[in-house]
Structure 1
């Protein structure tokens, strides 16, 4: 989990700004920016709003410590993680009461696709068979992250696929 201070520092560096430059834009001291980035204090709400505008992120993205994997979104190129460092997470809650959690590194998914592997059945269910992982990988390469697929089958199975 990233703190607000960590996020401010990361976003500032992605914008190739110094603490002094950010402080100047916000009409605060560079010491104030340093305190925020070291989690010794937090900016007031009007400054948080300005920060979200400067960094071109939502207030939610800026201040929440937990990543919101529920929302599929396209991440700006300079803020994207390397897909080789990302995971595909599959959550299956079957009508039979089974709970399955699968975490697959994206390089493993791509390697499996390259040799023609398909998604296995889970507990005899075929809901995962129709998912086009090649298309999902293309979307990930274009910066899409979050919950990408949610399936509720007629027999009560619930499947979600996230990319983080």
Structure 2
């Protein structure tokens, strides 16, 4: 997971977080964060998810250096909205999914009727 340690350090620096500030936001001791960045230790999935959320990237991007969703979603505004929607409550996420499903269904039906 050498790429994880490099990605973590790079993304943290890009966001302008010191190790101390980022560790506090994540809820880990700065010593642990330093170990993650030096590839000495690996965080739990829960901690890695919090890191990704704070860094505003997908877990794929943090762990692998790529964002799989980004390779399939070309519209950066839409991708940003989807990333932000991940931080909503479960009920709010369901509402977003219902709205999006209804909108796509309507667009599909409109297209089929126009043919």
TM-score, structure 2 normalization:
0.56
TM-score, structure 1 normalization:
0.40
Deviations 1:91-148 (A, max 9, x none): xxxxxxxxxxxxxxxxxxxxxxxxxxxxxxxxxxxxxxxxxxxxxxxxxxxxxxxxxx
1:22 maps onto 2:19 in alignment: no
- What is the CA RMSD across the aligned residues, in angstroms? 2.7
Measure, in 1, the Cα distance between the counterparts of 2:25 and 2:51.
Answer: 9
Aligned length: 75
Query: Which of the pair is proportionally richer in helix?
Result: 2
Cα separation, partners in 2 of 1:57 and 1:67, compared to 1, 3 Å: closer
Measure, in 1, the Cα distance between the counterparts of 2:9 and 2:76.
Answer: 18
Gaps of 5+ in 2: 78-115
SS class of match (1:22): helix
- 1:1-164 superposed matches below 5 A: 3-64=3-64, 71-72=71-72, 73=74
Measure, in 1, the Cα distance between the counterparts of 2:76 and 2:7.
Answer: 15
SS class of match (2:71): coil
- Rg bigger for which structure? 1
Measure, in 1, the Cα distance between the counterparts of 2:44 and 2:75.
Answer: 28
